[in-house]
Each structure stands twice: as C-alpha cells, then as structure tokens.
Amino acid sequence: MNYKINELFETIQGEGSFTGQPSIFIRLQGCPVGCSWCDTKHTWDIELDDQVSPDIMLAKKAETSQWANFSAEDILALVKEKHFKAKHIVITGGEPCMVDLTPLCETFEDLGYSTQIETSGTFEIITTEKCWVTVSPKIKMRGGYDILASAMSRANEIKHPVATEQNVDDLKELLAMHQVENTPVYLQPISQKKRATELAIATCIANNWRLSVQVHKYIGIE
C-alpha cells in the first residue's frame, strides 16, 4: 500500500498529551473537511500534477502541494537513512484517516515505536489497537462532514480548536451527544490569539479540561 506523503520530518510534538515529545511527523496529502483556519491548506487537494519523486518531495524548502508515494517500508527506510532519533510517530495531514493506516503503524510499532494519529473524526479510523488517536473534531465545517460516533469512542484524547464561545458550546454538545466522560479534553486557541487564549484558559478551569497552546509555534519550530 502506498501513502501520499507531503512532508516527513523530525521535531518536537507541540500539542496535546505528547507535548514536548521528540517525534517524527508524517504528513499525508488530501483533506475535504475545509476548516477555515487550517494552517496546512496546501495538503487539501490531491492533484496528479502535484505528484513528484520522493527526492523532490524531501528536498522541498517551503510548503507546497507536492506529494510523493511511499510504502510503509519506504518510510521506515527513510527514517533510518536520516538517522532520526525520535521513537514516536505522528501521522497527520491533511486528513490521514482517508486511508487504512494499519500497515504504516504496524511497521513502526513492530520495531518499538509508538504511533499517534491526528484526525478530524470525520472518517473511520482504521489503525492498530496500540495507536494513540487524537480526535480534533471539526464541527460544521465547509465540507459538511459529520463527526463519527466511532471516532469519538476510539479517541484517546480530544483536542478542540477554539476562538469563540460558540466553539465551546459546539464541543459540549458533541461530548454530550456521544457520552464522552473520561477522555482527556484539550482546548487549543486558534492562531494563539489573546481573546481565544483567555477563553480557552477560563473554559479549561471551569470544566477541568486541559490547555494545548501549540508550543512549536511559540518557539518557532516546525
């Protein structure tokens, strides 16, 4: 099975439960959800004209919509070739759950890596039992996709972007609908704006939720 890869790099996880964890990010191409504040819009469309060789994709110096096909074995070989030290794999996008992620996660888990998926919750999550699933529910987005009950029940953590009280109300409604009680909930201020951050802090305190502040953006790393 081949995966359409837009980026592959080693950095520090800046969000959610694994904040501060050295991680290898695998960014997949393709997402129809249509979040207005998305900071990776270059991963939305899958155009055949944007398909390039693995070498060209890896040599990119800026964000582009170019992608390359990699098998799970190709990705593992590349990680070894680059001598990456991190033992945590983050599969993101785009929307990674548009494809079966089981072979990719198994390839790394069999060698002692931990794996994590970051998904909008709008597609069935097909992965291993060990994989940590971060659901960042994208509610009422332009693409018109519903948040799946199966995604909410599979979530190991819920990470929700907030800018307004309506975003908070939408999340509370979603949690009540799916009877989510014991899953850790993180609020993430959109674009690190002051008002959004203040709202997130107050809401976290009021509901015993957690704050996710996108540490990588504050310290200026990828």
The string of pLDDT tens digits covering residues 84-141 is: 999 999 999 999 999 999 999 999 999 999 999 999 999 999 999 999 999 999 998 8
pLDDT value of residue 219: 64
Is 97 marked as a binding-site residue? no
Does 222 have pLDDT greater than 70?
A: no
Check residue 192 and give its pLDDT.
74
> Residue 94: is the preceding peptide bond cis (ω within 30°)?
yes
12 is in an annotated binding site: yes
> What average pLDDT does range 27-38 have in this prediction?
93
User: Looking at residue 217, what is its pLDDT?
Assistant: 66
pLDDT number for residue 87? 98
Q: Known binder of ligand: residue 214? A: no
55 carries a ligand binding annotation: no
Q: What is the pLDDT of residue 140?
A: 87
Residue 39 marked ligand-binding: yes
Q: To the nearest whole percent, how much of the chain has pLDDT over 90?
A: 85
Give the pLDDT band of residue 221 (cuts 50, 70, 90). Answer: low
Q: Does 67 show up as a binding residue in the annotation?
A: no
131 marked as binding residue: no
Is residue 29 a contact partner of residue 67, using CB atoms and an 8 Å limit? yes
Q: What's the distance, CA 52 to chain centroid?
A: 23
> What string of DSSP letters covers the chain?
-EEEEEEEEEEE--SGGGTT-EEEEEEEP---S--TT-S-GGGS---GGGB--HHHHHT--S--S-BEEEEHHHHHHHHHHTT----EEEEESS-GGGS--HHHHHHHHTTT-EEEEEE-SSS-----SS-EEEE---TT-TT-PPPPHHHHHH-SEEEEEESSHHHHHHHHHHHHHTT--SS-EEEEEGGG-HHHHHHHHHHHHHHT-EE---HHHHHT--
Is the domain defined by 2-159 classed in CATH 3.40.718.10? no
Report whether 14 belongs to an annotated binding site. Answer: yes
Taking a C-beta distance cutoff of 8 angstroms, is the pair 70, 2 a contact?
Answer: yes
Say whether 127 counts as a known binding-site residue.
Answer: no
Please state, rounded to an integer, the average pLDDT across all residues of the chain. 94
Look at residue 99 in the predicted model and tell me its pLDDT. 98
Asked whether residue 136 is marked as a ligand-binding residue, the answer is yes
Q: What is the mean pLDDT of residues 158-176?
A: 95
> Would the pTM of this model clear 0.85, i.e. be above it?
yes
Is the predicted pLDDT of residue 218 greater than 80, yes or no? no
Mean pLDDT of 156-175: 95
Pairing of strands 2-12, 22-28: antiparallel
121 is in an annotated binding site: no
Please state the domain extents for the chain. 2-159
Mean pLDDT of 13-34: 96
The Cβ of residue 44 has, within 10 Å, a number of other Cβ atoms equal to 19
Answer whether residue 9 shows pLDDT above 70.
yes
